[in-house]
Amino acid sequence: MSKKVLITGASSGFGRGTAIELARRGHRVVATAEAWPLVRSLRTDAASAGVEIEVIKLNLLDDIDIEHAASFDPDVLMLNAGVMESGSILDIPLQRVRESFEINVFGHMALAQKIVPNMVARKAGKVVWTSSMGGILVIPFVGVYCATKHAIEGIAGAMRAELAPHGVKVATINPGVFGTGFNDTGAESHVQWYDQARAVVPMPDFSTSLADQYDPQEMIDAMVEVAVAGDHLYRTMRPLATIDTAKQWQESEWTQNA
């Protein structure tokens, strides 16, 4: 059965790939991009892929954009947009911290509060949050990003329990280190403010950790399945090897010293 799926952050990476593949499979896709040039680029990408996608502007810091996006009343809401800001907890400017939470967490909550009540009313629908492996474990020097994803884990878990009696499903997507460009951008983001001579905690070289990133198609395929499947796990983490890493981290939380 065809679904109407609204995906935030669809101008690149997982969102773009998922939007195009869902449209290819016959679903009605409303794909959002943060700025008008990105809207036009995504429309061009969809046309080149031979699929029909409705592309709209959605800046998650803009209440007007959120109201407009909510008017599409989707069957499936995929909360996928996000930013990553690097920097130690003691050095990163609080402006960057607040912006990360406003986009990754509060903007998506605002959108969900506009859209999900209609799902509750009809006792059908699905909300899919893009979390991260960083929502389960913590990666030093991208701690603010991990904090936003930990917040998403708490919100999604509560929503799942609250909405299950009303026929609305909630799930999380937890990507590992995939080569979408997102991690590379996040690793570079601190250069606008970072001063090595004044830093409390010097930034490391991220190049080694970014050298062998996974093919994002594995995560895109899983996201497409989660979007429209009737039954699936609450959490979908890829690559599969990352699942063991995450479980080992959770176990170590009970045994490691301060």
The burial of 72, by beta-carbon neighbours within 10 Å (0-12 exposed, 13-18 middle, 19 or more buried), is given as middle
Number of CB atoms found within 10 A of residue 46's CB: 22
Return the active site residues: 145
Q: Give me 14's structure tokens.
A: 């997982």
CA angle, 130 as apex, 203 and 256 as ends, to 5°? 50
Compute the distance between CA of residue 202 and CA of residue 166 in angstroms, rounded to an integer: 49
Note whether 152 and 104 are within 8 A (CB): yes
Compute the distance between CA of residue 103 and CA of residue 257 in angstroms, rounded to an integer: 34
Compute the distance between CA of residue 7 and CA of residue 98 in angstroms, rounded to an integer: 23
Torsion of CA 64, 67, 71, 75, to 10 degrees: 130
